[in-house]
Structure 1
């Protein structure tokens, strides 16, 4: 016996996926796919139907929890940590036998590379500088081919840094970890997790939505500025400053790779075409909400 409601599959149900599952469950039946059996047990206990499928090890013919009528597949799983192609996504697409009405792929604004602070929109040149970003470009192309062949409405969400409850740099501030001097800090972009979830829902429910959308709050600022806002609102000391030359000696290669890229990402198409209404277009409001939710008692 079925509920008669649309069914959606969330592949990669982590920080974003769990909040998406709770939001979308008001209108869709949800099944989540995660990598580990421990995580599957955790989500099942929390009331989210979940199965464990390790896309690094799975063989062709393995089962994934599809329904004959699928409203959407949300593919939120990250690519593997090495190589220039997303083999996890490739395996999943080979296993998926029931085309959904919509395929929502969460990509990254890192595909635009470094523009030295110049603005980019969805028509801008893709010029990834890292293997991490090149894997995303490869994945976007995989979804384009797969969806075109099956006449599936495809939506790519290019996402910058995600912040929200449990995702603020509070521990870094408490440990007095340094950040770049404002004069050396480039322009970065971000989105509150709940606004990202709203974009995911809009991508599935807005039947006019298709193609690529940048998902940002529209407040391009440096990582140092964001860190200073968090410290002020959390009542913590400002992070110590270092120059880029000093950072080259002490920061991790991954952190440096983000700091070497500077761009202003436009969200005009997200607002006008996808129809997302930002709850946290103001960064300070998003930080305050995140701090308040972190302090709130856990739900039973």
Structure 2
């Protein structure tokens, strides 16, 4: 009789989680936590074991699927859209009775705030400027306390913009949506979804990994430069340019919140300590792979 596979719970099994599950399904028994029956049905068709819990409305008696020998919990669910605290994560941690060996939390590089185009790494103090980033700082602290009290190895992955198949700005290009002109555009960072999945896998498998890791491709360019790359590789026209002053009048508050922050995020710790080997350090290669599906 073959030994039981180690047990893994993915909380928030969407764009990233489904790819992580596909990567690990031969080595782990995986449970996937989702918030709706429709999402559960889609995961069942992929051969996964979904569990439906809406962390915004947890019913009395609700429980998450746990085993005494849990290898890891990978928490990928986003925070709520309002407030300065992640109440979804708080409810999840109250339900999590059995401590896993490892807790992986996907955060954001937005916690660093605006560095004026300067360099930040994991030693840089967090300076969140938006409620969205404050919710992430709150969540990081929540996981720190929870894991410390239970002696659980904790890994926080601070992630910038995620791109990949079906996550390129193709519709924006087709609609000729304007972008900020290059001389006004700040510096941003991104990661291909496959490399993010590799970082999640390394966080689980590398027993020496703990603490915070920035997960980026190491190529810090503006959002305008990135969308121009996509236009060139697809043959679509480059988008019209506007000044930052014009953008402040016409862009959505959420889009402006990203444009108003500029930073170069270092990834040395991810490469050297977490042990991630990037497939798409060059965004051109990552965009080409994304277009191929």
TM-score category by the smaller chain? over 0.9
* Match of residue 62 from structure 1: 62
Q: Which runs of 4+ in 1 moved over 2 A?
A: none
Q: In the TM superposition, what is the alpha-carbon distance from 1:61 to its structure 2 partner?
A: 3.7
- Whether the aligned pair in 2 keeps the contact of 1:60 and 1:94 (CA below 8 Å) is no
Given that 1:10 and 1:32 are in contact with CA atoms closer than 8 Å, whether structure 2 keeps it comes out as yes
Q: Deviations over 1:119-164 (max 9, x none)?
A: 0000001000000000000000000000000000000000000000
Does the 8 Å CA contact 1:61/1:95 hold for their aligned counterparts?
no
Compute the displacement of 1:249 (Å).
1.2
Counterparts in 2 of 1:122-133, with a 5 A limit?
122-133=122-133
- Which residue of 2 is the match for residue 27 of structure 1? 27
In structure 2, the residue matched to 1:209 is 209
Match of residue 196 from structure 1: 196
State the match for 2:140 in structure 1. 140
Cα distance per residue 1:22-47 (max 9 Å; x no partner) = 00112111110001111001111121
- Is the CA contact (8 Å cut-off) linking 1:206 and 1:274 kept in structure 2? yes
Task: Determine if the alignment matches structure 1 residue 289 to structure 2 residue 265.
Answer: no
Q: Tell me, in whole angstroms, the C-alpha distance in 1 between the residues paired with 2:52 and 2:31.
A: 11
How far, CA to CA, are the matches of 2:67 and 2:158 in structure 1? 27
Name the structure 1 match of 2:269: 269
User: Aligned partners of 1:17, 1:239: CA distance in 2, in Å?
Assistant: 32
Give the CA deviation at 1:79: 0.4
**1:272/1:265 Cα in 2 relative to 1: closer, same or farther (>3 Å)?**
same
Secondary structure at the counterpart of residue 115 of structure 1: coil
Taking the TM superposition and a 5 Å limit, the aligned residue runs for 1:7-86 are: 7-59=7-59, 61-86=61-86
Question: What is the alpha-carbon distance in structure 2 between the residues aligned to residue 13 and residue 192 of structure 1?
Answer: 17
Aligned: 1:165 with 2:165: yes
Gaps of 5+ in 1: 294-300
Q: TM-score, normalised by structure 2?
A: 0.98
Cα distance in 2 for partners of 1:284, 1:28 equals 33
Q: What secondary structure, in the 3-state scheme, does the structure 1 residue paired with 2:158 have?
A: strand
Q: Is 1:237–2:237 an aligned residue pair?
A: yes
> How many Å apart are 1:204 and its aligned residue?
0.4
Report the RMSD for the aligned CA atoms in angstroms.
1.1
- Structure 2 unaligned runs (5+)? none
Aligned-partner SS, 2:64? coil
CA distance, structure 1, for counterparts of residue 217 and residue 198 of structure 2: 12
Deviations 1:95-135 (A, max 9, x none): 00111010000000000000000000000010000000000
d(CA) in 2 for partners of 1:252, 1:65? 39
Residue of structure 2 equivalent to 1:298? none
In structure 2, the residue corresponding to 1:138 is in which secondary structure? helix
Q: Distance in 1 between matches of 2:174 and 2:48?
A: 34
Aligned residues: 293
Q: Secondary structure at the match of 1:103?
A: strand
Distance of 1:225 and 1:185 partners within structure 2: 9
